[in-house]
Structure 1
Amino acid sequence: MHLLIFKTNIESKKKVKSLNPVLNKHSDILDWTIDLEDIDNVLRIEATSNITESDIIDMVSMRGFTIKTLTD
């Protein structure tokens, strides 16, 4: 398992809910959260090693959101 962390423009519960079908049904995503109180609206994903940051960025971008990897 590894943790993937992203900065997003997802800023409401309604927008978070719109990602449920995409992220909840992906077999390599074990758990995910979006911190709406963080200035960066951080998306944290616990996933298997079979999924990459690019895969997540593509999935979220296709829903019309801005997303980029957060580094330390």
Structure 2
Amino acid sequence: MSSTIYKTSQNDMQIHIFKTNIETMLDLDMLQLLFNANRNIIEWSVDLEDIDKVLRVDSRKNLSQIDIINQVKLMGFSCEELD
């Protein structure tokens, strides 16, 4: 029996950076439920010590910034693109 390993190439990935109002570990738990269910999100993090509560999302290219913003806003958080 042979197995095949699928890897996401760097060309198929993108990084999104957002300013949010995420502040607590409970907030992070809520996001974890959302993001772990999304197969297009490879990795994510929130810097709770940064004044902008920066959310970084590494994703496949078929997930847009608007999609992420809308999902985060549906959870009750503010989320806007950082330049």
Same fold per TM (> 0.5)? yes
- Structure 2 partner of 1:30: 42
Unaligned runs of 5+ in 2: 1-12
Give the alignment of 1:4-15 within 5 angstroms.
4-15=16-27
Whole-angstrom CA distance in 2 between matches of 1:27 and 1:14:
22
Q: Which runs of 4+ in 1 moved over 3 A?
A: none
Post-superposition offset of 1:4: 0.2
Give the alignment of 1:1-72 within 5 angstroms.
1-71=13-83
Structure scoring higher RCO (CA < 8 A, sep ≥ 6) equals: 1
Q: Kindly name which structure, 1 or 2, has the bigger radius of gyration based on alpha carbons.
A: 2
Equivalent pairs, count? 71
Whole-angstrom CA distance in 2 between matches of 1:21 and 1:14:
11
2:37 counterpart letter in structure 1: K
The root-mean-square deviation of aligned C-alpha atoms, in Å, is 0.5
- Percent identity between matched residues is 41
1:67 counterpart letter in structure 2: C
Structure number with the higher strand fraction is 1
Please give the per-residue CA displacement for 1:11-37, whole angstroms capped at 9, x wherever unaligned. 111111111111111011000000001
TM-score by structure 1 length?
A: 0.96
TM-score by structure 2 length?
A: 0.83
